Structure 1
């Protein structure tokens, strides 16, 4: 593969991952509305179950993918799915005692953890511009969320663990994506994630304190808005998003992926401002600009205009 083709592939990868991040940011308000009626793990189980079905159909439709479900793929996918579940689980537990702003900031710290973990896992040291971009992204996240890092409690520690799990998922996705079929790997990953969420939901049903919160009412369960939220989060925000991550991390680094993913709260804030007239403070605007800037510092090839090929 020549240099121009490599540059084009990286551009396509980064723009697609940026679109994935936009989709995730756009689901914030949908998810928030659905969680007013059903429990977190009921929502996650339904979301990931539908995504798994979609991925299985896709895998069975493409002939060569059927033979890609090897023992190695099942092991790698199970590991990635368990890492994702760890991220979702620790974030959910942490949100019980911390603020959404602090949770958003701490989750976003995986942008710094990824280059730290990439060296021992991938045996490749991040470039100086990657570190610079990651640190600028952290400053931007702090300004955007308006967190007070002096007030750390138990919930914050749990969300920080969430960030570690998500960072590991990004790093190991790069490691496995180079060797395995992306669709087969993603299918196993999301299927295992679904199993973990289903098990957690089942265990919750035995709890006297949380069992009654699985579904607030039958009317809520059959609500159109709830199922629209579940379907949007299941198909574009899970099935497509994680397949795209797995596929395109063959062409871009885990550090650059993490920096692009740090745009999620920026998109969420922008959509909230446009759609719901949410107020964004001056520091929040500066934070958004810094996160945008960090993305271009980490990888100057990320441009809206497609690079010309001669």
Structure 2
């Protein structure tokens, strides 16, 4: 049988979004190391501010992009930025009282929330294969993270809200990318996240009950190389490039497929952890990784199988 594949643009979108997910998975350990020395929202503020600065310079250098900062762009970017911050914010709150494994699994619930919300928002019914792929990816996430869904904690509600916000961000990105300039929308989106993160420095939840000044003005934290290295790496490829790529390439793929691709993040994190830190996975973890890989193929309706017709031998006359 022959595999009839994707169009070149669709393949480019899939590969690029996979690259984005690889970057996120690769920076997980780097971010974890940086947060030993700096508060969460201080780190996020520095990360998103750096990314917003780079995106702004890039946008202003291109005349066509400068003209794309219309009222609709500002509205869309502000809305997407608020949704994205909601995902980061609620995940941060949830991590205070839940385990990383549970947080990873519940965040991954966005893979099934996206097709549920796609119809009422986008007025489009996801392909049946997208539903199957989403469920397979969710099962894979459960096996990979080893989550115990029986004993859930209060913080899990926050992480569940995180997955809803991230799902909405993916869906509305698909909605807005049809008509608006991707770089302009991404620039506004990341700038809005920066503002929200900076404002959160002054909230009690952001300080984790410590004095305000060390978190709000964490200049001393940058004396640790891992902090500024993490900020630069996560800001440039992990934020500026990542969210521009998502905004640009969701024109060529669906929100459900994007969510399934993004569910590869813990897989890449596990692989890199094994290669770099010799972390080991259980058998269920390996099976979970395999299921998430398979789910991407299942969810893509453009990949289909066609049976070859048997060749009938011709008789000589």
Contact 2:174 2:255 in 1 (8 A): yes
Q: In structure 2, how many angstroms separate the alpha carbons of the residues matched to 1:251 and 1:202?
A: 40
Larger Rg: 2
Alignment deviations for residues 256-292 of structure 1 (CA, whole Å, 9 cap, x no partner): 0000000000000000000000111110000000000
Q: In structure 2, how many angstroms separate the alpha carbons of the residues matched to 1:71 and 1:272?
A: 44
Residue 166 of structure 2 is matched in structure 1 by 166
Residue 71 of structure 1 is matched in structure 2 by 71
Contact 1:215 1:221 in 2 (8 A): no
Structure 1: which 5+ runs fail to align? 303-310
Q: Which moved further from structure 2: 238-247 or 199-208?
A: 199-208
Q: Secondary structure at the match of 1:68?
A: coil
The within-5 A match list for 1:192-203 is: 192-203=192-203
The within-5 A match list for 1:20-169 is: 20-169=20-169
Residue 305 of structure 1 is matched in structure 2 by none
Q: In structure 1, how many angstroms separate the alpha carbons of the residues matched to 2:233 and 2:242?
A: 11
Residue 274 of structure 2 is matched in structure 1 by 273
Q: In structure 2, how many angstroms separate the alpha carbons of the residues matched to 1:230 and 1:247?
A: 23
Residue 310 of structure 2 is matched in structure 1 by none
Residue 286 of structure 2 is matched in structure 1 by 285
Q: Secondary structure at the match of 1:87?
A: helix
Residue 249 of structure 2 is matched in structure 1 by 248
Contact 2:130 2:301 in 1 (8 A): no
**1:233 equivalenced with 2:198 (yes/no):** no
Shift of the alpha carbon at 1:153? 1.6
Contact 1:105 1:147 in 2 (8 A): yes
Q: Which moved further from structure 2: 220-229 or 164-173?
A: 220-229
Alignment deviations for residues 92-121 of structure 1 (CA, whole Å, 9 cap, x no partner): 001000000000000001000000111011
- Gap change, CA 1:216 and 1:121, over 3 Å in 2: closer
Shift of the alpha carbon at 1:222? 1.6
Q: In structure 2, how many angstroms separate the alpha carbons of the residues matched to 1:12 and 1:104?
A: 27
Shift of the alpha carbon at 1:220? 3.4
Alignment deviations for residues 170-222 of structure 1 (CA, whole Å, 9 cap, x no partner): 00000000010000000000000000000001335996923355289865322
Shift of the alpha carbon at 1:64? 0.4
Q: In structure 2, how many angstroms separate the alpha carbons of the residues matched to 1:145 and 1:231?
A: 28
Structure 1 length normalisation: TM-score? 0.92
Give the number of the structure whose residues are more often helix, by fraction.
1
**1:223 equivalenced with 2:224 (yes/no):** yes
Q: In structure 1, how many angstroms separate the alpha carbons of the residues matched to 2:241 and 2:5?
A: 24
Residue 314 of structure 2 is matched in structure 1 by none
Contact 1:134 1:259 in 2 (8 A): yes
Aligned length: 299
- Gap change, CA 1:208 and 1:27, over 3 Å in 2: closer
- Gap change, CA 1:46 and 1:122, over 3 Å in 2: same
Shift of the alpha carbon at 1:61? 1.0
Residue 297 of structure 1 is matched in structure 2 by 298
Q: In structure 2, how many angstroms separate the alpha carbons of the residues matched to 1:153 and 1:240?
A: 35
Structure 2 length normalisation: TM-score? 0.90
Q: In structure 1, how many angstroms separate the alpha carbons of the residues matched to 2:207 and 2:107?
A: 28
Structure 2: which 5+ runs fail to align? 304-317
Contact 1:37 1:216 in 2 (8 A): no
Q: In structure 2, how many angstroms separate the alpha carbons of the residues matched to 1:5 and 1:278?
A: 35
